[in-house]
Structures are given as C-alpha cells and as structure tokens.
Structure 1
C-alpha cells in the first residue's frame, strides 16, 4: 500500500497543485482568473502545473475558438472524488489553523542590495 499512497501523493505534489485543485473544486476558472486568485504564481508555473494535472486526468481544459482565445479549466469527475478529502482538510483547518505559525510570504532569493 505504501507505493500506491506515494503515487497518490505525487499526483497532488507541486508548489501550486493543491491550491489549484481547491479553487477548481469550487467552480470553473479561466487561466487569467486562476492566476489572479493565486498570489505569487508565475504564468510559467501555473501553465506547468495545469498541464501536469491535465495529463494525470484531474483537470480538463476547454479551448474556445474565439478571438482572443478563451481557455477554461475545471476538475474532472475523477478529481471530484477528492472532494471529501478537501472538505476534511477545511474542517481540520477551521479547528487547528489558528495554531499554525505564519511563515514569511517571501520565497526564493532576495535581490542584491536589499
């Protein structure tokens, strides 16, 4: 069972995947909406994470033949099976979240001279 759980965890491992899945569990999003909803994510990283989630069958991508092109993302039926897990995490956070230390928001290297 250890190997199976490792594979399950790897589907959602990634800097932004859980946040993406949490948002998409609530509703369908366009790319720009997702980017605005996730502070700190770059366009490149969001694209990479969405592609991985799509390849794993957890997110579907719909492209509309419009000018400018419109792309919408939503979770698949397979990913909806994670709904109870996300709900359990929400319940856990509501009970214990205030006891979790706040970490500094800055990530990565700081610019020289700062």
Structure 2
C-alpha cells in the first residue's frame, strides 16, 4: 500500500503544509485576524491531516527501527557458534531433572556397577 510508504507520506505532509499556507494566505487577504484564522474549519481540517500524517510517519520510523534491531539480533545469533546436539541435550537434562529423576538415575547407575 502506498499509504504505508514513507516517501508517499512525506509527499502528503508537504502537500498539506502547502495547502495550509495557501488557506492562511487567503484568510490574510480577507483581513481576517490570525486568532479567527486558527478557528477556521478548513484550517482545523488541514492541521488535523498534518497531525495524522506526522503520527503515521512516526509509526513507520518505529517499524523501520524495529526491523533493523531484529536484523542485527538475527545476525548476532547467526554469528554465535552453534552448540552440538550432545551438549545441548546434556544441558537440558541437567536443568530439567527433578529429584525423582535424579534418584532414579543414581539407582540405575548403582545397579549397573553391581552387575
């Protein structure tokens, strides 16, 4: 979608800023005070569009930043040496063994030594 594209949002921002300048110039030609010009419905509408566009641009930038962070994390993970399956299994067994499993293992080892 074009509305999710940063360049199109920047173009929209410049468009609405130009429209605001034109509207304020029109109101100035009619000798309307700046306080009343701020209350003009067209000016309010244009300023709302500018705010919406600015908010959307911030969301796009946050998304880009998050993607960069994820890419760097992925690169770090790929650069880290992989753990062998045997080492991984041993580490998981040690971390996951309950007391019952430990007793069972000791009993089994005792039996194996006795035979």
TM over 0.5: no
Larger helix percent: 2
Larger strand percent: 1
Larger Rg: 2
In the superposition, the TM-score normalised over structure 2's length comes to 0.24
Q: Which has the higher contact order (CA 8 A, sep 6+)?
A: 2
